[in-house]
């Protein structure tokens, strides 16, 4: 996002960080490079999200990360009016979306929809990833592709 763009999630929220088990480290490293990656099994090629120690399909522990296009389809959304954290008090309303990634077997990711918080996005609308850089992390948000 450009420096003049308002953040979906303002400064002051607890920082997202890789978990102690390190499963999501590659994801957060990729977001810093403005790349979107999804976990993929090296044995059966199944995609999965969120990161796990074993494949959901074949139970292999041979997992890796696969870069995807960052384009998807809006599966579901909700407009949030009540802040779930004090730092979000001035950010409401905002739209939380569930996005299907066609180039990753339609795994679904959650994020915020950038733009007008009063928009009425249509289900199945095409969206693309937007990388929101903060001081210590980069978040993946989504915007409607016109």
Domains held by the chain: number = 1
Model pLDDT, residue 87: 79
Residue 96 belongs to a domain: yes
The percentage of residues in the chain with a pLDDT greater than 90, rounded to a whole number, is: 71
The strand ranges marked E within 22-137 are 36-41, 47-48, 63-68, 71-80, 94-101, 107-113, 126-133
Model pLDDT, residue 95: 95
Model pLDDT, residue 3: 43
Residue 73 belongs to a domain: yes
Q: What is the mean pLDDT of the chain?
A: 89
Model pLDDT, residue 20: 55
Residue 3 belongs to a domain: no
Please give the backbone phi and psi of residue 87, each rounded to the nearest 5 degrees, phi first: -65, -15
Average pLDDT for residues 13-25, to the nearest whole number?
Answer: 68
Strands 71-80 and 63-68: unpaired
pTM of the model: 0.84
Residue 48 belongs to a domain: yes
Model pLDDT, residue 2: 46
Average pLDDT for residues 24-38, to the nearest whole number?
Answer: 94
The domain containing residue 109 runs over which residues?
A: 25-144
Q: In DSSP terms, which residues pair with 78 in a beta bridge? A: 96
Residue 98 belongs to a domain: yes
Residue 70 belongs to a domain: yes
Average pLDDT for residues 31-58, to the nearest whole number?
Answer: 97
The strand ranges marked E within 31-103 are 36-41, 47-48, 63-68, 71-80, 94-101
pLDDT tens track for 50-106: 999 999 999 999 999 999 999 999 999 999 999 887 878 888 999 999 999 999 999
Residue 94 belongs to a domain: yes
Number of Cβ within a 10 Å radius of residue 39:
23
Model pLDDT, residue 17: 58
Structure-token pair, residue 75:
């599966």
């Amino acid at each position: 996002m450009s420096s003049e763009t308002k953040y979906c999630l303002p400064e002051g929220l607890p920082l997202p960080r890789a978990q102690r088990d390190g499963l999501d480290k590659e994801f957060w490293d990729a977001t810093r490079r403005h790349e979107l990656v999804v976990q993929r099994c090296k044995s059966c090629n199944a995609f999965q999200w969120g990161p796990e120690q074993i494949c959901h399909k074949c139970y292999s522990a041979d997992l890796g990360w696969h870069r995807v296009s960052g384009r998807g389809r809006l599966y579901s959304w909700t407009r949030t009016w009540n802040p779930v954290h004090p730092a979000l008090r001035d950010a409401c309303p905002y739209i939380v979306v569930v996005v299907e990634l066609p180039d990753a077997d339609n795994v679904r990711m959650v994020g915020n929809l950038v733009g007008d918080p009063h928009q009425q996005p249509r289900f199945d609308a095409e969206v693309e990833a937007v990388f929101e850089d903060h001081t210590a992390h980069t978040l993946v948000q989504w915007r409607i592709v016109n």
